[in-house]
Chain A
Amino acid sequence: MSYRLLRVDKEEPGLKERNYLGLSDCSSVDSSTIPNVDKSNLNFKATELRLGLPESQSSERETDFGLLSPRTLDEKLLFPLLPCKDNASATTGHKNVVSGNKRGFADTWDEFSGVKGSVRPGGINMMLSPKVKDVPKSIQDERSQAKGGGLNNAPAAKAQVVGWPPIRSYRKNTMASSTSKNTDEVDGKPGLGALFVKVSMDGAPYLRKVDLRTYTSYQQLSSALEKMFSCFTLGQYGLHGAQGRERMSEIKLKDLLHGSEFVLTYEDKDGDWMLVGDVPWEIFTETCQKLKIMKGSDSIGLAPGAVEKSKNKERV
């Protein structure tokens, strides 16, 4: 089975392979993310929370922080969702993934080096704050690249402020499900309400909600989820031995993924758990009821498209 990813190329006629996970061109810092950048710390590479590959880039980061983990650490991928792209680094990443059915998310994060921005609380918290004055040049560059890639659609790329307008998510979700039925009567408006789904993660103390309509691709979604949940893996380390909070700043995501892998799954309308990334993004948003970041070991057997409810030990 080959999971080939090709770029979305709207100019080409005929059969097109879809880049469902929107890897190639977009950086994580598309125009829907305006990190509140602390300009005194432009060492983005150092601060970014990445789902790195066992490659030179990550090694660099390790040096920066003097981490204890071995260089040879098989950097497990947080969201091994995707089939490999056809280039060398991706293939390497793929081979490191445990099972043949697993796919690597490796390459997504390659593009993001240098632009992930500060560690100011972000996640889905994309601020349209008047305080954000300038965005460092590197981010602007990436953004223009992203636009060239053509994977950002204008409506969702518009910066969304968390919690604004002040409307309950219940209302947003209800309106979304109502208006989706009669779109032919609506005069071509692309916008529907929000679509909040719960996201839980194995071992995390709490779950979050994300509005799927603020993303236009799997890549954006993963990027946001990564930001949101990185603190959990940090927290776990804290629980396991670190005293209080002193060690937090030195712990990096990948250290905690020793021997474990996380997979992003979703529950569809029929109540079945599927791997994220199988279907076109639009269909995914229509069928996804919940998201769950599972430990890889629990999701073995969740082949793409498989219906393996019984394999999930946990009740969601």
Chain B
Amino acid sequence: MNYFPDEVIEHVFDFVTSHKDRNAISLVCKSWYKIERYSRQKVFIGNCYAINPERLLRRFPCLKSLTLKGKPHFADFNLVPHEWGGFLLPWIEALARSRVGLEELRLKRMVVTDESLELLSRSFVNFKSLVLVSCEGFTTDGLASIAANCRHLRDLDLQENEIDDHRGQWLSCFPDTCTTLVTLNFACLEGETNLVALERLVARSPNLKSLKLNRAVPLDALARLMVCAPQIVDLGVGSYENDPDSESYLKLKAAIKKCTSLRSLSGFLEAAPHCLSAFHPICHNLTSLNLSYAAEIHGSHLIKLIQHCKKLQRLWILDSIGDKGLEVVASTCKELQELRVFPSDLLGGGNTAVTEEGLVAISAGCPKLHSILYFCQQMTNAALVTVAKNCPNFIRFRLCILDPTKPDHVTSQPLDEGFGAIVKACKSLRRLSLSGLLTDQVFLYIGMYANQLEMLSIAFAGDTDKGMLYVLNGCKKMKKLEIRDSPFGDTALLADVSKYKTMRSLWMSSCEVTLSGCKRLAQKAPWLNVEIINENDNNRMEENGHEGRQKVDKLYLYRTVVGTRMDAPPFVWIL
């Protein structure tokens, strides 16, 4: 196999960056496995409990970039207790001990502490990039350590984390010698910001491309920042609370005109709508627009803004845009690839701002659309069939009908046929979220047609175990299956235990699986961690025979090569 010396092969491997491809390469032969493992710099770990840091480092000693994901996806929706797990500290400790040259760390749904951030900041001289998504457990003190100690920090990207803001001076902890920042995103911090420190930091960061401010940055500061950083590509404007008659606003308008590299815009938490026009001069360059937190922006101001954004590829918006607004998007944004429409009225009070019509309009107008997340009040099979015909290229299709078991609002039928059309037409579909009234039939379609499906989210759907079985049997590439409030039980769970070897994880909550079913599974599959999460009822943990028939409230199972984890809290029972 090796006609070339190892160095040449290694050089070839350098061009292979996707971790899936790298994994495939390493399976070809022993020699390639060896070359690949020493040359791999970026490692992706989708479940931090599938492996431990020691084994990771044994295999990839030249690791420079690590991505770790912790809690299951449904933790985002409060279904997993905070202390379930996903602790970063053991990883940092192990990496620090091994003296690996860590440069980048990307974390999602992990519990990060100030202690771990401090250790991180002190242990890796070349540390450059920290990206935290949906993490929690730390404060601005931890950020201060990063700022102070990471001499070559390039990226500090905090996305939607829960950070205790001690209103401290973390921004002023960046030394004057720190001039390497490329990304600074602290939009999720709630507290006041040291504006002087921020402005000085931005002024001495000529490479700064992405700056996302929190809501505490007032308009005049924003204007000054933009003057300092006209090279900015990605801007989060924070609250953008302003007065159109103020001098600050005029300065801002002037500054914006100079930001000719600006491609991505977000924030606008408190924005007064008529001040959006300040951005009109650069809208024609925008490829990404996130107005999903801009509760105040709707109606004609929003439409006008969008009409300027002809090159938009990614749009995140609130449903207050309405079907009419989506029609404008459809006719303007011909390059649109990703759309997310979030609900603006979170108590579900009956706001029917977007319906199936908006979705159909988008599908008709945007031929390049491949990812969609759509919250709406109603849907029809006919609409979904049309969408499938218009957009056979969907990779991600997530539909959330706010009333979880609502049928087709015209025919009162389940939405099986509609989703069936989607999976049949979209041959590259990798991620699917279902909602509305659904029977076992939709799962038959999914099993039959969704050959590339890797992640499936099911809620309040199906009638019998057959539903789940169709999916497990049919979707060969399934990686993550998450199910809540659906009548699937032990029969489906146990039908094909070896299937779970090919999957990353399975989540089932408020389904029909019983304790004895889970125990049987755990017995048959020692390479699985079968976790039962029982928060409130310790009686559930009884070992008695007849108690085994009790239903398990939350089940989370995942393949692992390192056995039962040691850090599980008492309410998690690993079988």
**Nearest CB in chain A: distance from B296 CB, A:** 6
Q: Which chain B positions have C-beta within 8 A of A178?
A: 269-270, 293, 295-296
Of B145-153, B382-390, B533-541, the one contacting chain A is B533-541
**Contact yes or no, B76 A172, CB < 8 A:** no
Known: A166-B400, A191-B345. A205 touches B295 (CB 8 A): no
Chain B residue at minimum C-beta to C-beta distance from A181? B270
Contact mask A158-187 → B, CB, 8 Å, 1/0?
A: 100111111111111011101101100100
Known: A121-B534, A123-B535, A168-B77. A174 touches B269 (CB 8 A): yes
Known: A162-B78, A166-B400, A175-B346. A231 touches B538 (CB 8 A): yes
Of B60-68, B79-87, B116-124, B301-309, the one contacting chain A is B79-87
Known: A122-B536, A191-B346. A165 touches B79 (CB 8 A): no
Quick check: is B484 within 8 A (CB to CB) of the other chain?
Answer: yes
Of A67-75, A80-88, A91-99, A206-214, the one contacting chain B is A206-214
Chain B interface bracket (under 10, 10 to 19, 20 to 34, 35 or more): 35 or more
Chain B residue at minimum C-beta to C-beta distance from A239? B570
How far is B375's CA from A172's CA once the two chains are assembled, in angstroms?
Answer: 14
Chain B residue at minimum C-beta to C-beta distance from A158? B347
Given A179-B295, A206-B569, A245-B542, output 14 extra A-B contacts at Cβ < 8 Å. Answer: A127-B510, A161-B404, A163-B77, A163-B484, A165-B375, A165-B402, A167-B342, A168-B76, A168-B160, A170-B134, A170-B161, A171-B160, A205-B569, A238-B570
22 A–B contacts from the bound complex (CB under 8 Å): A123-B536, A124-B78, A161-B404, A163-B74, A163-B79, A167-B346, A170-B134, A170-B162, A175-B295, A178-B296, A191-B347, A192-B347, A193-B347, A205-B569, A206-B83, A207-B83, A231-B535, A231-B538, A231-B571, A238-B570, A245-B538, A249-B539
Chain B residue at minimum C-beta to C-beta distance from A271? B167
Q: Which chain B positions have C-beta within 8 A of A21?
A: none
Q: Which chain B positions have C-beta within 8 A of A248?
A: 538-539, 541
**Contact yes or no, A165 B536, CB < 8 A:** no
Kindly list the 10 A-B residue pairs having the minimum CB-CB distance in the complex, ordered from nearest. Answer: A206-B83, A191-B347, A163-B77, A121-B536, A248-B538, A193-B346, A170-B160, A245-B541, A163-B79, A191-B349
Quick check: is A230 within 8 A (CB to CB) of the other chain?
Answer: yes
Known: A164-B459, A168-B160. A235 touches B538 (CB 8 A): yes
Q: Which chain B positions have C-beta within 8 A of A175?
A: 293, 295, 344, 346
**Contact yes or no, B539 A189, CB < 8 A:** no
Contact mask A109-126 → B, CB, 8 Å, 1/0?
A: 000000000011111110
**Nearest CB in chain B: distance from A199 CB, A:** 10
Quick check: is A302 within 8 A (CB to CB) of the other chain?
Answer: no
Q: Which chain A positions have C-beta within 8 A of B343?
A: 165, 167
Known: A121-B553, A123-B536, A163-B78. A174 touches B293 (CB 8 A): yes
**Nearest CB in chain A: distance from B375 CB, A:** 6
**Contact yes or no, A205 B570, CB < 8 A:** yes
Contact mask B323-355 → A, CB, 8 Å, 1/0?
A: 000000000000000000011111111010000
Contact mask A228-245 → B, CB, 8 Å, 1/0?
A: 101100110010000001
Q: Which chain A positions have C-beta within 8 A of B82?
A: 206-209
How far is B268's CA from A175's CA once the two chains are assembled, in angstroms?
Answer: 11
**B505-555 at interface with A (beta carbon < 8 Å):** 510, 534-543, 553
**Contact yes or no, A130 B134, CB < 8 A:** no
Residue from A129, A164, A209 whose CB has the most chain B CB atoms within 10 Å: A164
Q: Which chain B positions have C-beta within 8 A of A182?
A: 270, 295-296
**Contact yes or no, A130 B346, CB < 8 A:** no
Tell me whether chain B's interface is mostly helix, strand or loop, or mixed: loop
Quick check: is A155 within 8 A (CB to CB) of the other chain?
Answer: yes
**Nearest CB in chain B: distance from A256 CB, A:** 13
Q: Which chain B positions have C-beta within 8 A of A162?
A: 77-79
Q: Which chain A positions have C-beta within 8 A of B77?
A: 162-164, 166-169
**Nearest CB in chain A: distance from B165 CB, A:** 11
**Nearest CB in chain A: distance from B521 CB, A:** 21
How far is B459's CA from A161's CA once the two chains are assembled, in angstroms?
Answer: 12
How far is B538's CA from A196's CA once the two chains are assembled, in angstroms?
Answer: 25
Q: Which chain A positions have C-beta within 8 A of B404?
A: 128, 161, 164
Q: Which chain A positions have C-beta within 8 A of B443?
A: none
Chain B residue at minimum C-beta to C-beta distance from A164? B404
Known: A119-B537, A129-B510, A245-B541. A166 touches B348 (CB 8 A): no
**Contact yes or no, B83 A172, CB < 8 A:** no
How far is B162's CA from A142's CA once the two chains are assembled, in angstroms?
Answer: 39
Quick check: is A293 within 8 A (CB to CB) of the other chain?
Answer: no
**Nearest CB in chain B: distance from A163 CB, A:** 4
**Contact yes or no, A231 B537, CB < 8 A:** yes
Contact mask B401-427 → A, CB, 8 Å, 1/0?
A: 010110000000000000000000000
Quick check: is A194 within 8 A (CB to CB) of the other chain?
Answer: yes
Known: A155-B347, A206-B83. A129 touches B270 (CB 8 A): no
Q: Which chain A positions have C-beta within 8 A of B405?
A: 130
Quick check: is B188 within 8 A (CB to CB) of the other chain?
Answer: yes
Quick check: is B454 within 8 A (CB to CB) of the other chain?
Answer: no
**Contact yes or no, A189 B349, CB < 8 A:** yes
Quick check: is A18 within 8 A (CB to CB) of the other chain?
Answer: no
**Nearest CB in chain B: distance from A212 CB, A:** 13
How far is B120's CA from A20's CA once the two chains are assembled, in angstroms?
Answer: 47
Quick check: is B460 within 8 A (CB to CB) of the other chain?
Answer: yes
Quick check: is B485 within 8 A (CB to CB) of the other chain?
Answer: yes
Of the candidates A171, A176, A190, the one whose C-beta lies within 8 Å of that of B342 is A171
How far is B77's CA from A209's CA once the two chains are assembled, in angstroms?
Answer: 11
How far is B307's CA from A62's CA once the two chains are assembled, in angstroms?
Answer: 70
Q: Which chain A positions have C-beta within 8 A of B162?
A: 169-170
**Nearest CB in chain B: distance from A273 CB, A:** 15
Q: Which chain B positions have C-beta within 8 A of A165?
A: 343, 346, 348, 375, 400, 402
**B431-481 at interface with A (beta carbon < 8 Å):** 433, 457, 459-460
How far is B541's CA from A129's CA once the two chains are assembled, in angstroms?
Answer: 23
**B167-200 at interface with A (beta carbon < 8 Å):** 188
Of the candidates B161, B296, B345, B537, the one whose C-beta lies within 8 Å of that of A189 is B345
Quick check: is A7 within 8 A (CB to CB) of the other chain?
Answer: no
How far is B485's CA from A136's CA once the two chains are assembled, in angstroms?
Answer: 22
**Nearest CB in chain A: distance from B329 CB, A:** 21
**Nearest CB in chain A: distance from B138 CB, A:** 14
**Nearest CB in chain B: distance from A279 CB, A:** 22
Of the candidates B292, B342, B400, B537, the one whose C-beta lies within 8 Å of that of A121 is B537
How far is B457's CA from A155's CA once the two chains are assembled, in angstroms?
Answer: 28
Quick check: is A295 within 8 A (CB to CB) of the other chain?
Answer: no
How far is B349's CA from A179's CA once the two chains are assembled, in angstroms?
Answer: 15
How far is B457's CA from A165's CA once the two chains are assembled, in angstroms?
Answer: 13
Quick check: is A147 within 8 A (CB to CB) of the other chain?
Answer: no
**Contact yes or no, A194 B569, CB < 8 A:** no
Quick check: is A227 within 8 A (CB to CB) of the other chain?
Answer: yes
Q: Which chain B positions have C-beta within 8 A of A230?
A: 536
**Nearest CB in chain A: distance from B351 CB, A:** 8
Of the candidates B81, B293, B375, B536, the one whose C-beta lies within 8 Å of that of A206 is B81
**Contact yes or no, A249 B400, CB < 8 A:** no
**Nearest CB in chain A: distance from B519 CB, A:** 15
Q: Which chain B positions have C-beta within 8 A of A207?
A: 82-83
**Contact yes or no, A227 B79, CB < 8 A:** no
Chain A residue at minimum C-beta to C-beta distance from B81? A206
Contact mask B564-575 → A, CB, 8 Å, 1/0?
A: 000001110000
**Nearest CB in chain A: distance from B158 CB, A:** 11
How far is B553's CA from A238's CA once the two chains are assembled, in angstroms?
Answer: 22
**Contact yes or no, B81 A208, CB < 8 A:** yes
Known: A175-B295, A231-B535. A129 touches B485 (CB 8 A): yes
Q: Which chain B positions have C-beta within 8 A of A168?
A: 76-77, 134, 160
Contact mask A54-65 → B, CB, 8 Å, 1/0?
A: 000000000000
